[in-house]
Amino acid sequence: MKNKLTELLKNKPQNLLNIFYTAGYPQLEDTTTLLTALEKAKVDLVEIGIPFSDPLADGPTIQESSKIALENGMSIEKLFSQLETHTPQVPVLLMGYLNPVMQYGLEAFCKKCQEVGVDGLIVPDLPMYIYQTEFKEVFEKYNISNIFLVTPQTSEKRIREIDDNSNGFIYAVSSASTTGSKADFSAAADYLGKLKDMKLKTPILTGFNIKNQQNFQDACNYVNGAIIGSEFIRQITDAQDLSKAATNFVTSIK
Amino acid sequence: MSYQVNEQGFYGEFGGAFIPELLYPNIEELQENYLAIEKSPEFQEEFHQLLKDYVGRPTPLFLAKRLSEKYGAQIWLKREDLCHTGAHKVNNTIGQILLAEKLGKKRIIAETGAGQHGVATATVCALKGLECIVYMGEKDIERQAPNVARMKMLGATVRPATSGSKTLKDATNEAMRDWINNPEDTHYIIGSVVGPHPYPDMVARYQSVISEEIKKQMDGLPDYVIACVGGGSNAMGAFYHFLDDKEVKLIGVEAAGLGVDTDKTAATLTLGTPGVLHASRSIMMQDKDGQVIEPHSISAGLDYPGIGPAHAWLKVSDRAQYMAVTDAAALEAAVEVSRLEGIIPALETAHAFSVLKDLDLKPTDRVVINLSGRGDKDMNTYMKELNLL
């Protein structure tokens, strides 16, 4: 089966909008409602968070959405059963912490990802050397891209190493921070400029702290696109009409 | 078999550094420097001088005659309760503050459960004039009020962790998030043998002074070394220099809470399964979906759903035995030690005493119990649970 993510990224397109939300939030069955709405609104990629009890790389907004999703009864099994009812048209990434994936079973997890049309994984607590020694083979067997993060503190040498080991995009965190913190986006401009000048072979998307069209455009001046998570979750949290709120938000950005 | 960490940071299958990329530079800096700094003559000199003149080491090894009589064996108490600040925790914070200084860090963060590690961190920060922020679960702030006040008096900022179970696990999450947000000027002083490599090894090394002294203080080897385990730092310190002495039985005592057959427990090694928590692979309490189960123990210092990877390895390789003691049994033991020896132990430590009745002891057996902390901080709980008012 072809990988929609690598297809999309083949010609290094610009202005890619990737929307993140937490599976099973605000209500358990909203996962596919949001996916459908985002597809119709023509986002380029969708990243779905698998909730975890101890999301240590996430800020308060995503922590809270994870907590509610778990209370709603979300699990990896449930997420796969939801995705089975809706074959994604856009590239879909799952973002999840290592422990729930390990308990599900790495091979079973990757196999299921391929079956339901998931193209890539972001596992923030999976370090590169463990990926290479223990995970890579299985990811490749099921044609799943692994997405690495880089930060302003990542050395050039390590960025080059990550570039060599990437087969999707590189997720550039725009300031050294947990998701959704309040730092000004402009602080990231220098850093993204440096990344641009490195002329990496892998496309770059930046995330963390992108909130509006201005931020999005600023980011796209340097890299291939941006990921919006916390702000999107804030927008849908109390929405009367979830699909409409999702559509309106995407329209306001792109 | 080796019980020490290997070059990749693993104890057998356990350990490692499962860190977000955001923490990679911080952890890499520690991994590359911690051994060289520890081995440097300046570090060794200042570390030992502070342990002696500031902490009050060596702590005595005390023959507890009335306990010995009651249990029919020679029972020795390693008096970590006599350390400055009232528990073994300060051995580690002295080591880590010197390390942080050598690395040029200006800001110190820490997590704390019972507050002993928070106090020990606030203490060394005051000593060195460094900014100190301690994360503590909201529930623990309530039940360990005296330690919160001590930290504040020492000039530290205490920030409540309000997520999850509002205890040690959540304070650890918050401290890690702080570190992610402040990667350059901040050192995170982890208080136990948990977290990503090199922390489990580094903390074990700083705490190993406990077993180093026991070895010098005893004539020959003990038959048993017993210590309570939450994350496992006092136990690792007490076991460290006996790991290769196979004839010494090592016993870790975890908190069973209301009982290992209830859902209110913190008996990680008794009930847990392998998984990744707080950036290392170890044994943890989790449900079938890999979500962390919120633990329960009357003792805030043992109220943790994980355990240091070295302990997971000692258990799996059968080098140490782990037992679980309920809240009620720990309280009973606390009263007994108080009345037989005139020592009010910390609630954590009381768990270790409670297994004496379950061991098949001979009169010639020499048992060392690591008396990891004193009970002053637990007086609120003791007053309430034991009707002392």
Q: What is the CATH number of the domain that holds B187?
A: 3.40.50.1100
Task: State which of B145, B173, B202 marks the end of a domain.
Answer: B202
Number of domains in chain A: 1
Please give the residue range of the domain that contains residue B375: 56-86+208-385
Within its chain, how far is the Cα of A142 from the centroid? 19
User: Is A245 within 8 Å of chain B by CB?
Assistant: no
Residue A220 domain-assigned (yes or no)? yes
**What residues of A are in contact with residue B292 (Cβ under 8 Å)?**
53-54, 99
Verify that B320 and B245 share a domain, yes or no. Answer: yes
Verify that B283 and B310 share a domain, yes or no. Answer: yes
Q: Give the Cβ contact number of residue B182 at 10 Å.
A: 17
Q: How far does the CA of residue A42 sit from the closest CA of chain B (Å)? A: 30
Among chain A residues, CA nearest to B16: A130
Q: Which of B89, B139, B315, B377 is catalytic?
A: B89
Verify that B306 and B349 share a domain, yes or no. Answer: yes
Q: pLDDT truncated to tens, each residue of chain A (254 aa)?
A: 789 999 999 989 999 999 999 999 999 999 999 999 999 999 999 999 999 999 988 888 999 999 999 999 999 999 999 999 999 999 999 999 999 999 999 999 999 999 999 999 999 999 999 999 999 999 999 999 999 999 988 999 999 999 999 999 999 986 555 655 555 666 778 889 999 999 999 999 998 678 899 989 999 999 999 999 999 999 999 999 999 999 999 999 98
User: Is A165 within 8 Å of chain B by CB?
Assistant: no
Chain A / chain B CB contacts < 8 angstroms: 105
Q: Are B108 and B139 in contact (CB under 8 A)?
A: no
Task: State which of B202, B221, B244 marks the end of a domain.
Answer: B202
Query: Given B18, B163, B173, which is nearest A98 (Cβ)?
Result: B18
**Which pTM does this prediction carry?**
0.95
Q: How far does the CA of residue A40 sit from the closest CA of chain B (Å)? A: 32
- Interface-testing mutation among B167, B177, B188, B283, with chain A (most A C-beta atoms within 10 A): B177
Residue B223 domain-assigned (yes or no)? yes
Residue B11 domain-assigned (yes or no)? no
> In this complex, do A77 and B292 lie within 8 Å of one another by their Cβ atoms?
no
Quote the CA–CA distance of B371 and B369 in Å, as a whole number.
6
Q: Which of B111, B174, B336, B348 is catalytic?
A: B111
- CATH code at A122? 3.20.20.70
Please give the residue range of the domain that contains residue A126: 16-148+209-253
Q: Which amino acid is at A146?
A: N
> What's the pLDDT tens digit per position in A223-249?
999 999 999 999 999 999 999 999 999
**What residues of B are in contact with residue A153 (Cβ under 8 Å)?**
22, 24-25, 183-184
Quote the CA–CA distance of B159 and B142 in Å, as a whole number.
13
Q: Is B372 a catalytic residue?
A: yes
Q: Are B337 and B353 in contact (CB under 8 A)?
A: yes
> In this complex, do A125 and B276 lie within 8 Å of one another by their Cβ atoms?
yes
What's residue A189's pLDDT?
Answer: 82
Verify that B96 and B82 share a domain, yes or no. Answer: no
User: Is B30 within 8 Å of chain A by CB?
Assistant: no
A24 φψ region: left (φ > 0), alpha (ψ -120 to 50), beta (else): left
Verify that B220 and B174 share a domain, yes or no. Answer: no
Verify that B46 and B63 share a domain, yes or no. Answer: no
DSSP sequence for B107-157 = EEEEEESSSHHHHHHHHHHHHHT-EEEEEEEHHHHHHTHHHHHHHHHTT-E
Query: Given B181, B275, B291, which is nearest A176 (Cβ)?
Result: B181
Q: Give the Cβ contact number of residue B63 at 10 Å.
A: 12
Q: pLDDT truncated to tens, each residue of chain B (389 aa)?
A: 899 999 999 999 999 999 999 899 999 999 999 999 999 999 999 999 999 999 999 999 999 999 999 999 999 999 999 999 999 999 999 999 999 999 999 999 999 988 999 999 999 999 999 999 999 999 899 888 889 999 999 999 999 999 878 889 999 999 999 999 898 899 999 999 999 999 999 999 999 999 999 999 999 999 999 999 999 999 999 999 999 999 999 999 999 999 999 999 999 999 999 999 999 999 999 999 999 999 999 998 999 999 999 999 999 999 999 999 999 999 999 999 999 999 999 999 999 999 999 999 999 999 999 999 999 999 989 999 999 87
**A242: nearest Cα among A26, A51, A20, A23:** A26
Residue B269 domain-assigned (yes or no)? yes
Tokens 């000027």 belong to B185
CA torsion through residues A100, A206, A58, A78, sign: negative
Quote the CA–CA distance of A21 and A158 in Å, as a whole number.
29
Residue A177 domain-assigned (yes or no)? no
> In this complex, do B180 and A150 lie within 8 Å of one another by their Cβ atoms?
no
Residue B12 domain-assigned (yes or no)? no
ipTM reported for the complex, 2 dp: 0.92
Q: Are B302 and B351 in contact (CB under 8 A)?
A: yes
Residue A174 domain-assigned (yes or no)? no
Residue B355 domain-assigned (yes or no)? yes
**What residues of B are in contact with residue A130 (Cβ under 8 Å)?**
16, 18
Which neighbouring-strand residues pair with A205? A171, A225
Q: Nearest 10 degrees: CA dihedral of A52, B286, B182, A125? A: -70
Verify that B180 and B191 share a domain, yes or no. Answer: yes
3-state secondary structure of A85: coil
Q: Is B89 a catalytic residue?
A: yes
Q: Are B343 and B335 in contact (CB under 8 A)?
A: no
Please name the residues in contact with A165: beta carbons below 8 A apart, sequence gap of 6 or more.
Answer: A128, A131, A132, A148
Query: Given B19, B177, B181, which is nearest A127 (Cβ)?
Result: B19
**How, if at all, do strands B224-228 and B249-257 pair?**
parallel
**What residues of A are in contact with residue B289 (Cβ under 8 Å)?**
75-77, 100, 103-104
Number of domains in chain B: 2
**What residues of B are in contact with residue A97 (Cβ under 8 Å)?**
276
Verify that B192 and B265 share a domain, yes or no. Answer: no
Q: Is A184 a catalytic residue?
A: no
Cα angle B88, B91, B93; round to 5: 110
Query: Given B177, B284, B291, which is nearest A56 (Cβ)?
Result: B177
Residue B6 domain-assigned (yes or no)? no
Q: How far does the CA of residue B100 sit from the closest CA of chain A (Å)? A: 19
Residue B290 domain-assigned (yes or no)? yes
